[in-house]
Chain A
C-alpha cells in the first residue's frame, strides 16, 4: 500500500513553454500532498503544500505564479511550471500521507526530471 505515482518521469521542454506534472496517490486518499525540488547532489527542498479543495501554501522564496499547484481531487495534485527557463531544470518530487491514518508518514513518488533547453 501507500503508492504514489508521478507522470511524466522525464520531460524536456523549450524555454518559455509550460509543463504540467501529475502526482497521484494510487491506493489511498490524500487531502494533503507536498511538492519538492532537488538539485544534483543536494537535499530535497519543500516548495509547497497542496491542499485538496483549497489554495496551496508556498514556502518562502517560491513564486506561486510560476509554480501553479492544483489539488483537484483526493488522489491527484498537479504542478505546472509556467514559462519555464533553464534554471527551472531540476528533479521534482511529490509526496503524500494517507488521510485515513493517524500518523503523518509521507510516501514519495518516483520524481520527474525536467530539462529546459
Chain B
C-alpha cells in the first residue's frame, strides 16, 4: 500500500507564530485530505486537495502531486489550533500518516 509520512511528529509554537507541516507519500494518488483531530477525537476536514493551493482563513495547503508531497501552513497560530493534524491519501480508501501533534502556547 501507499506509505504516508508526516513531519515533524511534534511541534510547539508560541501563539502568533507561523508553521509548516509536511506530508510525503510514496506513490501517485488521486487525492489527499488534511484533518485536524480536536482533543475530543473529532476529525475536522480541513482540505481536500489533489493539487494546487487552497486557503481557508489562517490555514492553507499546497499539494504537488508530481513530487508526491503536500504542505499545510498555519499562520498566526492560536491556542485553539492545538491538536493532531493528519494527512491522508485518498484513493477511495484513506491511508493516514502518523500525524503531527501541534501545541500552541499562550
Tell whether A and B belong to one assembly: yes
Residues on A facing B (Cβ under 8 Å)? 2, 34, 38, 42-46, 49, 91, 93, 95, 103-108, 110-111, 113
The answer to whether A93 touches B41 (Cβ under 8 A) is yes
The answer to whether A105 touches B42 (Cβ under 8 A) is no
Kindly provide the distance from the CB of B47 to the nearest chain A CB, expressed in whole angstroms. 10
A106 — which chain B residues lie within 8 A by C-beta? 33, 90, 94
Residues on B facing A (Cβ under 8 Å)? 30-31, 33, 35, 40-43, 45, 48, 86, 88, 90, 92-99
Candidate in B30, B45, B48, B93 with the most chain A CB atoms within 10 angstroms: B93
The answer to whether A46 touches B93 (Cβ under 8 A) is yes
Neighbour of B33 across the interface among A45, A49, A105, CB < 8 A: A105
26 A-B pairs with CB atoms under 8 Å apart are A2-B45, A34-B93, A38-B41, A43-B96, A43-B98, A44-B88, A45-B96, A46-B95, A91-B41, A93-B43, A95-B43, A103-B31, A103-B48, A104-B30, A104-B31, A105-B31, A105-B45, A106-B90, A106-B94, A108-B35, A108-B43, A110-B40, A110-B41, A110-B42, A111-B41, A113-B41
A2 — which chain B residues lie within 8 A by C-beta? 45
Kindly provide the distance from the CB of B83 to the nearest chain A CB, expressed in whole angstroms. 13
A42 — which chain B residues lie within 8 A by C-beta? 98
